[in-house]
Every structure is written in structure tokens, then in C-alpha cells.
Amino acid sequence: MRILHSPNSSAHQPERYFRRGAIVPHPEQAVRYRRLRDVVLADGHDLMHAGEFGLGPIKAVHATDYVEFLATAWARREAVPGIDDEIGSSHFARPHMSRRPEGILGQIGYYMADTSTPIQAGTWDAIYGSAQAAVSAAELLASGEIGAAYALCRPPGHHAYANSAGGFCFLNNTAIAARHLVKRSGGRIAIIDIDVHHGNGTQGIFYETADVLTLSVHADPANYFPFYTGYADESGVGAGLDHNHNFPLAEGADDQTWHKTLADMLALVRSYQPVAVVVALGFDASVDDPIGAFGVTTDGFSKAASMIAGLGLPTVLVQEGGYLCDALPLNLSVFLKSFESAHQV
């Protein structure tokens, strides 16, 4: 398996955030990248540094003003009294608060959905490098050089909208890879999101388009993040009608339930007849995940990999969630091995 990554992925190092009334350790730590990198190296995969594709593929998905905010926010920190090692906000815009303020303090709340996405000295380098890994993987597929690649993206991305961050995510690596594949191939792309959280940012980015089919299996958002999207009746609008499919499941869903739902998703992919697939590869559906809500086992991830590989389509695997526990690197290891064994293009 060709693995694309950026060493800058560990430059973003959040240690804490405000959650449910308390300051708690941040689950999305830099060591996630290193543990995932180390296991793919140990398994003998072909590890490559991401190429340099610039801002073009990023701005094909994200609003220019939002990208510029992310790239310059740390340099503007002196305008915010009391800043130490990171920039954050406790003032967040809601839909009826539509004015973009000029000052950095107001813009932080304008472009961010919650307290989980602080900006630090190395944040831009990490999220830019992560996006380049996703583009690099997509480019290898588009060039016909390989039939599958894994983008070791960290921080994750599927909660990032075109113009806002949230849920540990800044740039939507999955969406960036999919849009790049559409541009390079001229064909339709399917996104399969198996993270335990709904890929709300990805849904929002493609909700009005027909050239990307978005499917997500996740814990029921009625009482689980991201709460406000991910319901089964959200099917797209305009040209995107019937091109978005959500499969919310009750918390505690096991391998059998998860696989049955995945089979339904794959049937939709086959009907859509895309030229390639992007998998939002979250491992926080694991029974061992510290912030997960499902009961998927390591064997369950292995079978899911074989099922997705059975589509027989060029595939980019983009790392999304999956948090620090002994099972995290093991789940990646078995997923890649099973995918490689079953994948034929």
C-alpha cells in the first residue's frame, strides 16, 4: 500500500479543551500521527512524503477568506490580549449572526464551531501538510500509477465545512481528495464515511452537487456529536438531491449491524457507478476507542476493508478519527492488510 504523509502532521499539539463544563485533555494529540506512521512502517508499506500542490486543491473546497484566516491567525495573535500557546474563542457565531468581524478575536468565533480547534504556532503547517497528503494520494490514483493509496492525515478533516472548523478538524481532507479526483478524472466520485461521527462538513460541502455521492454510517446524532446533522432524511438539495445518504445507528452497534449497513451503502455506490472511491477512514467506531460509541471489533474492521475493496474501484483511504488506545494502530494494520488482499482494479 502506498502511504502518503507529512511530517508536519505532529506540529499541531493541542493538550486541552473545554468540554461539557470542564477543561479536559484533548483526544486529538500529535502522538496519533506517530503511532499510525510507526505501524505502517513496521508492516512494510511504502511510505512517501506528500507532494506540493499548493492552495489550489484546498481552495477548490474551502472559501478563500477561511483559508487565509487559518494561514495567518497565529501571526495576528498579538491583537488578542492574554494569548499564550494557542488561540481560541468562547464567542461563536450562530446562523442569525452573519456579519464577519474585522478583528482576529471575532473571526476566531466566526470561523470555528467549538473549542476543540485551537490554533497554535504549528497548526497551519500541520493542516496544510495533511491536505497535501490527501491531494497526493488522489493524484496518484488519477495518474493511473496505482489503484489505491492511504493518506495518513492528521489532524482529521470531515467535520470541517467550506468556511468553518470544528470537531478537531480544520481542512476537509476527504472532500479535498474527492474534489481533486473529480477535477482530474472528469467522472463521479463516491465518499464512504465509516467514522463513528457523522461527516457533517463533507455533507455540507457536497450537499448541492451531483458529481460526488456522500454516504456516512455513524452514531445517531440525536444525542451524539455533531448533533445538528447526520439524520436519515438529509438527502441533498437541488442537483445534489438523492446524492447524500446518512445511516445513523444506535450507540453500541456491533459488527453485524455495522456490516449490514455498510453493505447497504456499497449497493448505493455500485448503483452510482463512480470512477473512484474516497473512504473517510475513522477507527473511532472501535469498541476500544476512548470517545467512541460503537462496538466494532478489530475483526470487524478487517471485514469492512474487504467489503470496500470488493467494489473493485480505485480508492483513496483518508485517515479521519480514531483516538489513543492500544487498538488504534492494530485496527489500521488489519484494515490495510485486508484491503490490499481483497482489492483488484
How far is residue 241's CA from residue 206's CA, in Å, rounded to a whole number? 10
Are the beta carbons of 106 and 90 closer than 8 angstroms?
no
Helix (H) / strand (E) containing 151: strand 148-151
Burial of 233: CB neighbours in 10 Å, binned 0-12, 13-18, 19+: exposed
Cα four-point dihedral sign 318, 324, 326, 327: negative
Phi and psi at 255, nearest 5°, equal: -55, -50
Of 246, 252, 249, residue with least CA distance to 292: 252
CB under 8 Å to 24, separation ≥6 — which residues? 16, 17, 18
Query: Please, are residues 232 and 320 in contact by the beta-carbon 8 Å criterion?
Result: no
Residue owning grid cell 465518499: 191
From 5, 62, 159, 198, active-site residue: 159
Pick from 48, 161, 166, 152: which is nearest to 117 by CA? 166
Q: What is the CA radius of gyration of the chain?
A: 19
Q: Is 159 a catalytic residue?
A: yes
In Å, the largest CA–CA distance within the chain is 56
The SS3 of residue 215 is: strand
The CA distance from 34 to 20, in Å, is 28
Q: Which spans in 187-228 are helix H?
A: 200-206
Helix H segments across 186-249? 200-206
Cα distance between residue 344 and residue 44, in whole Å: 20
Active site residues: 159
